[in-house]
Structure 1
Amino acid sequence: MDRLPSSITLASRKTILLITATLITFTLIFTFSASIRESSIQILEEQQLLGDNTKVDCIADTATIHKNKIEKLTWESCLASESERETYLSIVIVSRMDDYAGNQHHRLQNFIDSAYLLAEHSQTYMELLIVEWNPPTDRRRVIDSFRYRHSDYLTYRVITVPKEIHDILPNVGNSPLHEFEGKNIGIRFARGEFVVCTNQDDIWSHNFLNAVKSRVFKKNVIYLQRQDQHNIHDPLPPSIVRLPPFADDDTLFNACKLGDQEWGNYKLPEPLKLTTGNILKVADQAGDFTMAHRETWKVPRGYREMGGVAWMDIEFICTAAWTFDIPVVYDEKGFACHQDHQNIWEFNTEQHTDNKDIDMGEIMRKEKVYMNEEGKWALQNMDIWEHKLECQEFQGGLCW
């Protein structure tokens, strides 16, 4: 009878020791995991706040990233037009969070996802460069409003032109957004061999995917496409699409086919002779797609900067083709589709740039030249660091 309590006592002690050891083990594991997570977040914050030149995969707090102070070296690295890897294509748009034409966020998310699908399906290194112009103070920023999926082939950059810079520039029509000045900034800092200037309402066609895969584009050429008028709503023509909010990948990818494909063997038409008789057809809706080698863009010095938002896309093509004799390739099949939405801009005439008195015949006959002054476009004549131009570069994805 004396030995039984001793056995029970010994077993109880072993049980207690086992439970204690287990609790200590779980505590150490939890502490170690938390430490790893804290260290990861700390490293990420150091990259963003302390000037580490390493490009981050994702941004832990997109709501405050634009408020973080970064070192000038990091800022310059973000704006550098050269990168460690060869980038084939830069996709440039200008935007701000003002809900343009209603449901802007749906259409812009579809656009961002379309760029992701273009990179993934073509397996081509490219960047999506969003120039955020004069962001409203009572809205979330572009970087904090959308999903940017990670792709090994796609880099995202957001260059923000603050109100301080916007207020310095000429502002014909008192427009809150300068589309063509913004696109010039994208052209200036683009890393892609080719730069396509487009709009936030567009998605890419199978034709463009095939053309990228086929590597058909050449230097010293301006590339344009045919696209139907945006004010055609019902029935929709082929290059105007009506997508649901946040369309899934299959819906989005197949919404803009615009023809059958012989994959890897896309054929471009020969350059055409541009005249005053066909310029309005060839350059119609050119704001949705104008593409050239990045050095070719700089020959006519980008879009002429007049303030406001209108007509400079056609004038740029006239200057490139007639002043500098750059060939124009016009593809009838179409490289992009426009997402249908209500028309707002065309009726807001007080914000339109007034260059309607330009005689295109004088440009064609080389009697007059319209272009930006050398070194005085795309903010080249401004201290953009002192005036707080912002830049964020990331690979997309979520931080967990």
Structure 2
Amino acid sequence: MTKRDPYLSIVVVSRNDDHGGNLLQRMQLFVDSLYEQCNQYKLKTELIIVEWNPLPDKASLKEALSWPVEREYMVTRIVTVSPEIHATFKHADKMPIFQMIGKNVGIIRAKGRFILATNIDILFSDELIQFISKKKLKEGCHYRVDRVDVDTCVLMRRAKDNLLSLCGKNIIRYNKKYGTYDYRELKGAIPVFVKRTQDFVSRIKVFLSDGYPLIHSNACGDFACMAKKNWISLGGYAELEMYSFHIDSIILILGHYSGIREIDLRSPMEIYHIEHSSGSGWTPGGGEQKLFERLKSDSIPYLVWEDLLQYARDLRHTRDPTKTIIGNNKPSWGLGDRALPETIIR
């Protein structure tokens, strides 16, 4: 690392395919908001967009998105994984993106001292970016936040609207450490307190009976922040050629049993997730059922909760990831042995 390197690298994976509906609009909000916040709080950041398996008949992300003029504290790097490389993975004909392998592509190439892996439909609270800008993040720690799901009406905001204020007025649900709470159903302090208590007791029972650690793995694919040296020591996300469900939790479990301390940042340090179309990703309720029906219909493999419990049990007893159902990645994880084309937007 040099003094010229960014303090933070933010890694996302995407392509121009309208996944989840209004994808370019979601990405534009993500980019615009992030540029504005990093400049406001003088946080030297690089945004790494891994453009995985781009469609030949669609504009590239560089061409399809508008890039803010004010870039004093932000540099964007677009790393492209070609359709030819994508085709070498199992189930490539049914899965257009291998999200966690894509994030590894960005992680292994990141220049920041700390790396935040997130997604393109996420907005960060000002308090969260301000906290990171103070440069007090510590090596050996894994930082987590709560995810707040908001209605898609925020995509239709007018120029005069404050985006984050609009998010706060259109909350659907909270994804917290021990459970998910539907904001529209659980109105009032008492119902929320009862639900949170029930979820906490349930997690304690799972911990005592199955050994699943008391970590904040709820919606962890949308915010995982560690020092780059810790990402490297853990070997990145497990590169399983399957749907990404639960893969984001594996590195948290591995980190826990490897001595990395979890730090849960409290509200108002949180992230906002713009709701996507039902079944396009994991969404509590009907969306979850649609997703699994689609995966089953297309014969796309994915991890289930029992797989995660078994992984946690194995690590708890052996502390050796090579002796679990999910082994270590290859030395070339993140396509580290490939020279991938890169575009820099300065």
TM over 0.5: yes
1:118 matched residue in structure 2: 37
- 2:197 is matched with which residue? none
CA offsets 1:282-305 (integer angstroms, 9 cap, x no match): 111001100001111111100000
- Partners of 1:107 and 1:127 lie apart in 2 by 19
Q: Pick from 293, 299, 310 the counterpart of residue 227 of structure 2.
A: 293
* Structure 2 unaligned regions, length at least 5: 170-202, 283-289
Aligned match of 2:194: none
In the alignment, what sits opposite 2:140? Answer: 220
Q: What root-mean-square deviation, in Å, do the aligned CA atoms of Structure 1 and Structure 2 show?
A: 2.7
2:25 corresponds to which residue?
A: 106
Which residue in the other structure is 1:142 paired with? 61
Amino acid at match of 1:355: L
Match of 2:101 in 1: 181
Give the 3 Å change call, closer, same or farther, for CA 126–219 of structure 1 in structure 2. Answer: same
Q: How does 1:338-377 map to 2 (within 5 A)?
A: 338-343=273-278, 344-346=280-282, 347-349=290-292, 350=295, 353-356=301-304, 357-358=307-308, 359=310, 360-366=312-318, 369=321, 370-377=326-333
Structure 1 counterpart of 2:335, which letter?
A: L
Which protein is bigger by CA-based radius of gyration?
A: 1
Count, aligned residues? 284
AA of the residue aligned to 2:57: D
Looking at structure 2, the residues matched to 390 and 246 of structure 1 have their Cα atoms a distance apart, in angstroms, of 35
What is the SS of the residue equivalent to 1:168?
Answer: coil
Whether contact under 8 Å (2:142, 2:261) holds in the other structure is yes
Q: Which has the higher strand share?
A: 2
Which ranges of 4 or more aligned residues in structure 1 deviate by more than 6 Å?
Answer: none
After superposition, the C-alpha distances for 1:207-244 in whole angstroms (9 at most, x for unaligned) are 2122123223111111111224x5xxxxx5xxx67413
Q: Does 2:46 match 1:127?
A: yes
SS of the aligned residue for 1:244 comes to: helix
Structure 1: any 5+ residue segments left out of the alignment? Answer: 1-81, 231-235, 259-273, 396-400
* Distance in 2 between residues matched to 1:173 and 1:368, nearest whole Å: 34
The amino acid across from 2:78 in the alignment is V
8 Å CA contact 1:129–1:190 kept in 2: the answer is yes
Distance 1:301 1:242 in 2: 39
| 3-state DSSP of counterpart to 1:203 | strand
1:5-24 superposed matches below 5 A = none
**C-alpha distance in structure 2 between counterparts of 1:164 and 1:84, whole Å:** 37
Deviates more, 1:287-296 or 1:241-250: 241-250
Partner in structure 2 of residue 265 of structure 1: none
- Alignment of structure 1 residues 313-328 onto 2, 5 Å: 313-322=248-257, 324-328=258-262
Distance 2:330 2:111 in 1: 21
CA contact (8 A) 2:12 2:103 kept: yes
**C-alpha contact (below 8 Å) 2:213/2:256 kept by paired residues:** no
- Is the contact between residue 215 and residue 252 of structure 2 (CA under 8 Å) also seen in structure 1? no
- 3-state secondary structure, aligned to 1:314: helix
Report deviation, 1:182: 0.5
Q: What per-residue deviation string (whole Å, max 9, x for no partner) do you get for residues 107-157 of structure 1?
A: 110001111012111112111110000011121111110111131110011
